[in-house]
Structure 1
């Protein structure tokens, strides 16, 4: 890879505690010339100060994950964009694998995901189901670290300005252009959401929200349900 061919964009909100491990992962997983950009959406903790102390470039944007990711894309000129959650770690050589995957006609894709947590049965099962569902439907989630060429990102207008399901919606729109590259290489995401709220309860909630979204329930309505129950 030469120059900043790829940018890793990380939306953050009150993630100060996770940034040291994120910085270590990025330092090991991607080439030194890969652009890394954090986008803060109004953290109330020390996220910005910690990022600056770790040498992680960070900008401030309007709150909301979709807005943060769009702001990050606008702030970089890299031709390939990888969107990463702050509690998700990339595998070694992820940048080279993404660039290789996008050499052909495919303009976007995602990784398989592994969920890190205490449960050695349920969380691996959840991850396996997520990966298989995504492979069958062509719909990716943010936990799977979406990546895309900039022209495809621009063609669909970036992430839709909605408070939830922005990953589902951009997958839908990108899927109308071309099928995704579903990489078997795995990112590792935190199981904190499942473990804090209960694995089965979280699974049922997410299934309900997805089903409701497919049936046409507005994203802002679903976001309220998620905040009330999540």
Structure 2
């Protein structure tokens, strides 16, 4: 039992580390953005999806919760002070965190519901239809989360201050804008379409990657027999 638990901790720690490294490289260096809220590509979510398939829903949920908390701490350092956040003066920012980070990231745990329990029979941690089902469900929930925030709480001025406040106080703001690959739209409708495109694009890419990774994991399936 302790051996299996240790294996799960190692697997979770490894993939969380990969996720953070991927986010830093992709968001900060390739896309040249200070936060991932306006990033079109979020391939750092791939390890979070994999954790569910590898260790199941329960461990995946707490792993993704830990990732989300750490992620929010880093993003909050860029976007808004903790004093305003905890004092409740900026409720819009709390809604932003909930609908743009907490819900979308925790839904990655749903892949754990499709983890195969009979790996010896299936000779795989998940089947192709499991990838399709999980991607569809996760995509719907993530899009709904963004749509709910935009329809109920979106305000262009306050949202811009949340997303870009760090850029307004940065010494080379204009340089970043000129070299930024993507920028978020100015309207609520445009923002929703942008986020919907990002969700569909990312989940499509991740789904394809999961399909090929399955065959790599198949050769090491005994290592992931953690029950």
TM-score, length basis structure 1? 0.32
For the pair shown, which has the larger CA radius of gyration, 1 or 2? 2
TM-score, length basis structure 2? 0.32
User: Greater share of helix residues, 1 or 2?
Assistant: 2
